[in-house]
Structure 1
Amino acid sequence: MPKLIYLFVFYVFLSTSSVLALSKTLLLASAISIDDEYDRYKKKGDDFFKEGKYAEARRQYQNCLEVPGFENDPYALEQIKKCTSGSALRQQVTDAFAAKNNQAALQALNQLLGLNQDDPITKNQLADYYEREGNLLFNQKNYLKARESYIQALKYATTRQETLRLQIRNIDNLLKPASHTGLKVAVGAVAIGAGIYAVLLRNDFQTKMGTLSQVSQTVDPTGSGTIANPTAYQQYLDAYNAAESAQQKNGLYKACIGVAAVATVAELYLLIHKPKKPVRATGLHWQPSSQSLGVAATFTF
């Protein structure tokens, strides 16, 4: 009889230990799941915030607060405040530009950069503003001020850096004396270089678009829009990203075409006309356009 009691007690002990161990395991798994959920929302919020998408980021940080145990999370609460401020400042920028109050718009844009120095939307707005100012000053033949504006635009530009550098170099060439022969050589080199680079950009874009089309037909021959195989989907995604990257250089392509065209006209002009004195900031100019495409000559494709 005592043996049976001992066996019973031992059995109860084992059962209790197993239940406790199982409970601890389930609690640990639940805690990990909750932490993972919070981390997912936090990462999405951080990604949107870095991109300057404050409304989307705020929703993700709000989701963080709805995860059990994170209702008063300091990080999420602080980021929500920043997102609210960012959205308000962005609206101020829109309203100020609409009212043609450039100084108020610049002030709000600089506040946005103080809030989020990686904000690409704000940087592009600043670059666009200074480039427009540079184009206006260039048209007024105020080349020194135009150059300063282009330099400011270059500080903030996330795209079109080469176009802005080209505009600055054009002004530098206008502001210094140039010999007839040296100018013709320089103009010819610009025309050839810009034309070759434009062709390379165009060929790269067409090649990557062709690759994307071939990959699409391979991984999704029915055109259903669904790619179930992960490897095939990654192959398609790589091709798509490459094509999109090439497409983003469209502005630079147009600028190169315009520069090549204007440089060719300039070359013909210099062959026909022989200036009696060094050519300065008068005569034929490679004038930036008001649409941020680099030069006044425009081409479409």
Structure 2
Amino acid sequence: MRKLIHPLTLMLLLTVFLTPALRVRGGNPGTAQVVAVDEEYDRYRKRGDDLFKEGKYLEARRQYQNCLEVPGFENDTYAKEQIQECTTGLTLRKQADDAIRQGKGAEALKLMNQLLNLNPDDLITKGQFADYYEREGNQFFNQKQYVAARESYTKALNYTNTRQETLRLQIQTIDSISRPSKQVGLKVVTGLVAVGAGAYALLLRNDYNTKLSALNQISQTADPTGSGTIDTPDAYRQYNEAYRAAEAAQQKNGLFKACVGVAAVATVAELYLLLHKPKPKTTALQWKPSSQSWGLAIGYTF
């Protein structure tokens, strides 16, 4: 005869198979909370969390609402809190989009910052930041405000991983435009030489004229009749000193002529560089920022 299953054993088996799976939340066995695990709830919650990180608040909210529809989780605190966060995110995004359409840049940036404070992983908002700063950079570039354009492109780099190459290319374009050419350096050098040589020549000429004038004045005082005779030793000493000073200044006449020549040559070179501007190098492919949207406009020259 077969033995019947003992009633106690039967109850134990039913308890194992019919009771929902349990998990323990908390690290202290004495105070741990026992929470029912439901695969459907966990699936909805994971989908909601993933969508929330991407900034897809409408889709994420639907998943959290699904969590509340799972039996036993109608009052789940986490799902309710996330639904509220999603609602706040949707409101802020709509306000930010409206501000951008109305051209209220400062207000849009403020609202987008609030979105990132709500959800630092918000990929959509980061993309909006990148779009905003790149459009701003394109506008500055077309207005030839290259410093401001470079700053905007650099800000855009902080918010995107997919357009790094494009933005860096735009920054390199600005750097190549802003970099002074060799001819600009030559213009500066020739200008400095012309000014320096001319100024020194003028200084030499003024020094000679001043000392010659002083010699003439002393001559008239020491020998007013023009007889060629100076009566007093003191007057002779003054005349002799003035004569030597004028003679020393006259001996620099060669240096004066050299300075005048250098200044003249440098001036001619400066005029030549100003009148003969270098032709810009053109390539078949031309890259320039698009003024209305992010990215580059590509042109081909035949």
Q: Give the TM-score category using the shorter length.
A: 0.5 to 0.7
Query: What's the counterpart of residue 299 of structure 2?
Result: 297
SS in 2 for 1:287: strand
Residue 15 of structure 1 pairs with residue 7 of structure 2: yes
Structure 1, unaligned stretches of length 5 or more?
1-6, 181-274
CA positional deviation for 1:28: 3.1
Q: Distance in 2 between matches of 1:143 and 1:149?
A: 10
TM-score (norm 2): 0.57
Query: Between Structure 1 and Structure 2, which shows a larger proportion of strand residues?
Result: 2
Q: For the residues of structure 2 that align with 1:21 and 1:83, how far apart are their CA atoms?
A: 44
- Provide the aligned C-alpha RMSD in A: 3.4
Match of 1:149 in 2: 152
Q: Relative to structure 1, is the Cα distance of residues 157 and 30 closer, same or farther in structure 2, using a 3 angstrom cutoff?
A: closer
Counterparts of 2:39 and 2:277, CA distance in 1: 68
How far the C-alpha of 1:55 sits from its partner, in A, is 0.7
SS of 1:28's partner is coil
User: How many Å separate the matches in 1 of 2:273 and 2:138?
Assistant: 29
Secondary structure of 2:9's counterpart equals helix
| Residue matched to 1:89 | 92
Residue from 13, 19, 26 that aligns with 1:27? 19
Cα shift at 1:283 = 9.4
Q: Distance in 2 between matches of 1:18 and 1:298?
A: 84
Task: Kindly report which structure 2 residues correspond to 1:101-250, keeping only aligned pairs within 5 A, or say none.
Answer: 101-179=104-182
Match of 1:260 in 2: none
Bigger Cα Rg: 2
Partners in 2 of 1:121 and 1:158 — Cα distance?
A: 12
- Which residue of the partner structure matches residue 58 of structure 1? 61
For each residue in 1:97-142, what CA deviation from the matched residue of structure 2 results, as whole angstroms up to 9, or x when unmatched? 2222122211111111111111111111111111111010011110
What is the TM-score when the length of structure 1 is the normalising length?
0.57
2:46 to 40, 43, 64: 43
Q: Is the 8 A contact 1:51 1:121 kept in 2?
A: yes
How far apart in 1 are the matches of 2:176 and 2:277? 10
2:288 maps to 287
Alpha-carbon offset, residue 50 of structure 1: 1.2
Identical pairs, percent? 53
Classify 1:104/1:179 alpha carbon distance in 2 versus 1 (closer, same or farther; 3 Å).
Answer: same
RCO higher in structure (CA 8 A, sep ≥6)? 1
Equivalent residue pairs, number: 196
Distance (whole Å) between structure 1 residues aligned to residue 155 and residue 6 of structure 2: 75
Q: Which residue of 1 aligns with 2:189?
A: none
The Cα shift of 1:146 comes to: 0.5
Specify which structure has the higher proportion of helix: 1
Q: Residues 298 and 128 (structure 1 numbering): CA distance in 2 closer, same or farther, change over 3 Å?
A: farther
1:292 positional shift: 2.3
- Paired residue secondary structure (1:70): coil
Partners of 1:116 and 1:56 in 2: how far apart? 15
Query: Is the 8 Å Cα contact of residues 58 and 80 (structure 1) preserved in structure 2?
Result: yes
For structure 2, the 5+ residue unaligned runs are: 24-34, 184-271
